[in-house]
Chain A
Amino acid sequence: MNPVNYLYLAALLFTIGAAGVLVRRNAIVLFMCVELMLNASNLALVTFSRLHGNLDGQILAFFTMVVAAAEVVVGLAIIVSIFRTRHSASVDDSNLMKL
């Protein structure tokens, strides 16, 4: 098996995540889709690290994980505070600015 298959897997997972962000309505599930896209990019970075034979790709993947953790914490806090005021986690219901 060619290790390029890992890249195809990463591309497929990234595509599924992107389609999920477009299709789903629940804000929590949207965040999960973003997480899936970040994971797919991590897999690609690890595979590139193996391709080039140095560890810089893994360092990048490590920083991606840290940033993803910070992003999830703040994003979920925003979702919780929106849910408290609007009693809904659906992104369709946040239409206060709509004419």
Chain B
Amino acid sequence: MTSTGEAVQFWVLAVLAVGGALGMLLCRRAVHSALCLAATMLSLAVCYLAQGAVFLGVVQIVVYTGAIMMLFLFVVMLVGVSAADSVKEQLKGQRVAAVLTGLGFGVLLIAGIAHARLGHFSGLAEANAEGNVQGLARLIFTKYVWAFEVTGALLITAAIGAMVLTHREHVTAPRTQRELAAQRVRDNVQVPPLPAPGVYARHNAVDIAALLPDGTVAEDSVMSTLRERGQIRDVSQDMLRRMAELEDSSAEWLGRPASGRPAAPKQRGALETVPGEPTHRQNPEEEQ
């Protein structure tokens, strides 16, 4: 039997641990799962501390929640934070079968523990007499010294394996700036530098495309990353529409014929390719 304090601590930690585990199971995003798992691991660390495994409790916090979970978070960032798990079932009824299997497994496991004839809990007071760390060290460096040395080999193999698996060799040499310039001249599509972004005297943000003399947008003035994400802000259409409205209303007021300015010019790409050259760009109207 344990003290009341440990009982209270156990129930609080058990609820936290099971809640974290269920959260990991049910969250659709990998980041949320990782954070829930970190909560579970922290509460398990306090469980170890409460049970007299002081060294393991600290190692659990430092190695598991410190190192391993950070590694998980790094990989989640590499793979993509917003990628949610698919709900589509590839095998019919697999999810239901999996939940039923899990339930059955849990019932069997817990019933097995309930029927086990466990002896009296002798406690670690005697084993921890000279200190938990000293006791563990005595065992590791005498009885388990062979396993400990093999562990070193395992860790080195794992580190080398990770490096071999994630290392990527360049098949061809990276292209130099000179080669890129020569390629540009050979293609004869855009020999001078690209136009700068920003509509001067109004905006100079990088996500606002420059305007051509006829008011259309020079799409190549915005960098390709923003273009691919569709994050170009466009101020030209709004401005031109307001100007046309103003001219029309003033013409109506003065009794003159309307100016005939087009309300909103059609968008077009900034680049006019040389006739005869194959166009490497898509039709810009499809991108809108």
Contacts and interface: CB of A to CB of B under 8 A. Distances in A.
A16 B18 CA distance: 8
A27 to B, nearest CB: 9
Nearest to B102: A19
Main secondary structure of the interface of B (DSSP, over half): helix
Contacts of A50: 51-53, 121-124
Contact of B51 (A8, A12, A47): A47
Given A9-B17, A58-B136, A35 B121 contact: no
Q: Chain A's interface: helix, strand, loop or mixed, by majority?
A: helix
Contacts of B123: 50, 53
Contact of A31 (B25, B48, B72): B72
B2 A1 contact: yes
Contact of B113 (A4, A29, A56, A76): A4
Contacts of B98: 19, 22-23
A75 B18 CA distance: 25
A29 B78 contact: no
B1 interface: yes
Nearest to A80: B166
A82 to B, nearest CB: 10
A18 B18 contact: no
Contacts of A20: 24-25
